[in-house]
Structure 1
Amino acid sequence: METICSVQCVTRKIKGKEIAQNVSFEVSKGEIVGLLGPNGAGKTTTMKMIVGLSEISVGDIKIMGYSIKDDLSKALNNIGAVIEEPTFYPYLTGNENLRQYQRMHKTDDRKWLLEVANLVGIEYALKQRVATYSMGMKQRLGIAQALLKKPKLLVLDEPTNGLDPVGIRDIREYLKQLADNLGMGILISSHQLSEIEKIADRVIIMQDGRIFADQQIGDGTNDGFSRIILHIDDAEHTSKIVAELFGVNSSVSKSITVERLPNQLYTVALTINENQIPKLLTSLCIVGISVFRVLSLRTPLEEQYLNLTNSKS
């Protein structure tokens, strides 16, 4: 697979403090990579170094083989980015902002401008002044602007901020199309782990400026186990059934936590292989335990992310 972006042992120091420490990873053609981590983990700093907005103290970053340190202009020609909140000329229309961006980069492909506006669902508002745009509309316009150069690498920092659920779904579908149809490499940071799990091929988890995990979605992030919550009327009997089915010392039995609800019911939370959930529910019903609700507590990626970041705190 062709490498679009290569981050090579990169460190960023500010006043002697290492904001990013020895960070290394790659983004390949057609690959969507999620960059995760708590606030202050170094995600935005890493992205800023990739797009040339922050100085690289140690190491190097190459985009399509061009060094950010030595061939910045050639490297940037292959990058489209939205870092933090996108900014525009508020007194100009959406179309005028995009046209101005094209002029800055000496391009004049009006057909592509309309295509990307269509792609991100902003074509209906191109004649409106950006001052009238909602935050979600500005996010869409920012992604459209980033695509105008037909970049090989798209870097997006929290692109779904300010979007409603429909907008989030739409952006997810747009990005999949860009990766699949245009072979674009995409690096995206987000706090919405469920969205990253739906869209990314791979996740990189950062904390304290370092990378603690770099793995494929489904490779260790989802081993078939889920954390579920049952709303039932007999917690003690439920625990006994779980012990009989899986063993007293099994990981399932040891994972159980119980809380009493105001309506005389109980919540029983446990971690169980997804294939075993029907067997458990059937066994509970057979012995007369009423199951009022079954809820998923966390996604597999969320579970792994929280376990990892908590263990490294």
Structure 2
Amino acid sequence: MAETVLSVKGLQKAIGKKPIIHNITFDVFAGEVFGFLGPNGAGKTTTIRMLVGLAKADGGDIRIGGISLQEQFPQAIAQVGCIVENPELYKFLTGRENLEQFARMSGGITPERIEEIVRFVDLERAIDDKVKTYSLGMRQRLGIAQALLHRPKILILDEPTNGLDPAGIRELRQFIRKLAEEEGLAVFISSHLLSEIEMMCDRVAIISQGKVISVGLVKELMAQFADQVDWTIPSSHIQKAEEVLRKLPAVTDVWVVSEERLKSRMDIERVSEANQALVNGGIPVMGIATKTVTLEDLFLTLTGGGGSHGAEHGGARTE
């Protein structure tokens, strides 16, 4: 089993007497990209500030590489590379000079390590240009290079795609996957961009109003809310169609929407089997429409943002 690089247990924070972070618990493992997903104001940045020692927790425990952040701060924080909000760079220095300045402040970083990390972030051609000439994506990569110089066990990024164009987002996504898959680094990313988290992350914690409401593999979380199929059936056959669909192993739920429509939650790859079962049962199928569930659907359901229908039916059912 992969090493637990970051362990958060019962994390709490209040402003005055008002609790804003409530008993947050999760683990992050080596070699994975872990998404911390929530709307603006959910508590993502406050949590990250506690993880990197910029804010003090009122309760709970944070361990990095098995070392308590509260009890052995220098040893624990030495294993962290982070960018909170935007990379702090000297725009009138070159990229190389920025890295050299950071290396002097950190200590123990060789020129060879600087060259290695420049190659890794693919900035060889621009490293001797002044940072003020860099695109936002290049600045983000230089900031990550700076955060990786001291060989941390975990890289923590707060909203790293903010301001990037689609090409820059794709480039950053590929780079972060490379860090996890080729370097075995744990990468912790906060974001409100659901589509990016879905494509980038292995596991995700969903936070709402200062509480983590779900943690798990992206694929497993989405599997709980399987794809939906909308069937159009003559009203005289709707009850029998519901009975046939309920008996199929690929179908996890069925509900009637109207006189001539019902929906099933099922493996979308097996719709043809379900259609054949209905036809074999003498049921005319007048129409089929499919909806692939996304992380956004899951997020809206879990946070109560999907409207009354989702709450009424206890899941990701939609009209």
Q: TM-score range by the shorter chain?
A: 0.7 to 0.9
Task: Give the letter for the 2:44 counterpart.
Answer: K
1:40 CA displacement:
1.1
Q: What pairs with 1:1-313 in structure 2 (closer than 5 Å)?
A: 1-223=2-224, 225-227=226-228, 251=253, 254=256, 273-278=267-272, 298-299=293-294, 301-310=295-304
For 1:298 and 1:166, the matched residues in 2 are separated by 25
Gaps of 5+ in 2: 247-252, 308-319
Question: What is the CA-CA distance between 1:18 and the residue it aligns to?
Answer: 1.8
**Contact map agreement 2:268 2:290 (CA 8 A) in 1:** no
When residues 288 and 187 of structure 1 are mapped into structure 2, their CA distance, relative to the original with a 3 A threshold, is closer
Give CA deviations for 1:122-160 in whole Å, capped at 9, x if unaligned: 332212211222222222221111111111011111112
* Conserved? CA contact 1:119–1:174, under 8 Å: no
SS at match of 1:219: helix
Q: CA deviation at 1:227?
A: 5.0
Task: Tell me how far apart the structure 1 counterparts of residues 128 and 184 of structure 2 sit (CA, whole Å).
Answer: 31
Counterpart secondary structure, 2:179: helix
- How has the CA–CA distance of structure 1 residues 290 and 206 changed in structure 2, closer, same or farther, with 3 Å as cutoff? closer
Equivalents in 2 of 1:238, 1:120: separation in Å?
Answer: 59
Instruction: Give the distance between the partners of 1:228 and 1:148, measured in 2 at CA.
Output: 50
Q: Indicate conservation of the 8 Å contact 1:120/1:144, yes or no.
A: yes
The alignment's TM-score, normalised by the length of structure 1, stands at 0.79
Take 1:295 and 1:236, find their aligned partners in 2: how far apart are those partners? 12
Tell me what 2:311 maps to.
none
> Alignment partner of 1:128: what SS?
coil
In structure 1, C-alpha distance between the alignment counterparts of 2:99 and 2:234, rounded to whole Å: 60
CA distance in 1, matches of 2:263, 2:165: 30
More displaced, 160-169 or 212-221? 160-169
2:314 is aligned to none
Gap runs ≥5 in structure 1 = 230-234, 259-267
1:141/1:246 Cα in 2 relative to 1: closer, same or farther (>3 Å)? farther
Paired residues of 1:35 and 1:187 also in contact (CA < 8 A):
yes
TM-score, normalisation: structure 2: 0.78
Letter in 1 for 2:219: G
CA deviation string 1:90-113 (max 9, x = no partner): 111111111111111013323332
Give CA deviations for 1:225-277 in whole Å, capped at 9, x if unaligned. 32579xxxxx9779999987656997555468x9xxxxxxxxx9986531244
The more displaced of 189-198 and 201-210 is: 189-198
Cα distance change, pair 298–122 in 1 and its aligned pair in 2 (3 A): farther
State the alpha-carbon separation in 1 of the partners of residues 84 and 257 from structure 2: 40
Letter in 2 for 1:306: L
Distance 1:115 1:163, change over 3 A: farther
**For residues 33 and 240 of structure 1, do their structure 2 counterparts lie closer, same or farther at Cα, with a shift above 3 Å needed?**
farther
The alpha-carbon distance between structure 1 residues 281 and 94, as it changes in their structure 2 partners (threshold 3 A), is farther
Deviations 1:67-109 (A, max 9, x none): 2212111111100001111121111111111111111101332
Indicate if the aligned counterparts of 1:202 and 1:215 stay in contact, CA closer than 8 A. yes
Question: Deviations 1:202-235 (Å, cap 9, x if unpaired)?
Answer: 1111111111111122223224832579xxxxx9
Q: Is the 8 A contact 1:255 1:271 kept in 2?
A: no
Shift of 1:16: 2.1
CA contact (8 A) 2:232 2:287 kept: no
Distance 1:240 1:152, change over 3 A: farther
Deviations 1:11-31 (A, max 9, x none): 112222222111111112222
Opposite residue 106 of structure 2, the aligned amino acid is: H
Could you tell me how far 1:36 is from its partner in structure 2?
Answer: 0.7
Write the distance in 1 (CA, Å) between the matches of 2:118 and 2:236.
Answer: 58
Name the CA distance, whole Å, in 1 between partners of 2:152 and 2:131. 24
Aligned residue for 2:125, secondary structure, equals helix
Q: Secondary structure at the match of 1:49?
A: helix
2:155 match: secondary structure: strand
